[in-house]
Amino acid sequence: MKLNIAHLYPDLLNLYGDRGNIQCFRKRLEWRGIECEVTQYLQGEEIDFSNIDIVLLGGGSDREQEIVCEELKKIKKGFQEYVADDGVVLAVCGGYQLLGKYYKTNTKKIEGLEILDIYTEWEPERLLRNIILESDLFATPVVGYENHGGRTYIGAHQPFGKVFYGLGNTGKGDYEGVVYKNVIATYLHGPLLPKNPHVCDYLLQKALCRKYGEDVTLAPLDDELEQKANHYIVARYSNKGNVLQETIKRHI
Ligand code: GLN
């Protein structure tokens, strides 16, 4: 078995180590004896989605998102069809915002891919802190770090998780991210997957089943250390009170 992973615009969208998510995909496949090929797609390059099994769209500054927006117009149709065909996507922060209709910054309106029926609007108070989610998809909490000026309004979409600690989509501390078909879109940087191997395996499983049939199962790995780290973070933030009052005020 083999998975082809596409890392989109890593020269522009790679804030806070989003690239680590690729390493995690690669390593957890390698440990199971499953082949993996990672292709980086830079500005101006053509993308044939028919040969792709997983897409990573990372985060970026508003300026970088503006540049990427022009690239996305060229691949919009192919990307939309890939998602409609159950293609697996991990979109982080700026990448999450770009899956929606638009991201309105303080100076510009950046058009998105219109894959998700969501929109994002910038506010001067930046939302940055550790964040912990409880997701219906997993028994184990999802831990990470958020850092965004945008507030994302997800309408009727299913959120990725309920915020246990942190601020989330709109800064209200209620919900975070979106799950849609085989897409996980989230504000969690970190990078997300090395801290949350259960999320990594969920996406790998979806990609393998899409390619090789529903009966593909992933061999379990020894995640004792990752589990310990997860429990430590959850315990550390379990008694923090009302996090909304702790919001750090900072301007971009
Ligand atoms: N520029 C976007 C924002 O500030 C996304 C930031 C990011 O990807 N970390 O909301």
Tokens of residue 123, six digits: 């506010």
In sequence order, which residues have a C-beta less than 8 Å from that of residue 62 and are 6 or more positions away? 103, 105, 108, 110, 122, 149, 252
Which pTM does this prediction carry? Answer: 0.94
Taking 70 as the pLDDT cut, the residues of the chain under it are 239-252
At residue 240, the pLDDT reads: 58
Active-site residue 200, yes or no? no
| 128 is a domain residue | yes
| 233 is a domain residue | no
User: Measured in angstroms, how far is the CA atom of residue 28 from the centroid of ligand 1?
Assistant: 28
Q: How many domains does the chain have?
A: 1
Active-site residue 189, yes or no? yes
At 142, which CATH number? Answer: 3.40.50.880
Cα within 13 Å of Cα(209), Cβ side: 13
Cα dihedral 96, 186, 211, 101, rounded to 10, equals -30
User: Phi then psi for 207, rounded to 5 degrees?
Assistant: -70, -40
At residue 205, the pLDDT reads: 98
| 230 is a domain residue | no
| 242 is a domain residue | no
DSSP state of 46: -
Q: Is the CB of 171 under 6 A from ligand 1?
A: no
Q: Which is catalytic among the residues 24, 36, 93, 200?
A: 93
Mutating to test ligand 1, I would choose from 18, 97, 145, 153 the residue with most ligand atoms within 8 A of its C-beta, which is: 97
User: Measured in angstroms, how far is the CA atom of residue 208 from the centroid of ligand 1?
Assistant: 30
Residue with tokens 């395996």: 201
Domain that holds residue 119: 2-222
| 236 is a domain residue | no
Burial class from Cβ neighbours inside 10 Å (0-12, 13-18, 19+) for residue 176 reads buried
Centre a 10 Å sphere on the Cβ of residue 151 and count the other Cβ atoms it contains: 20
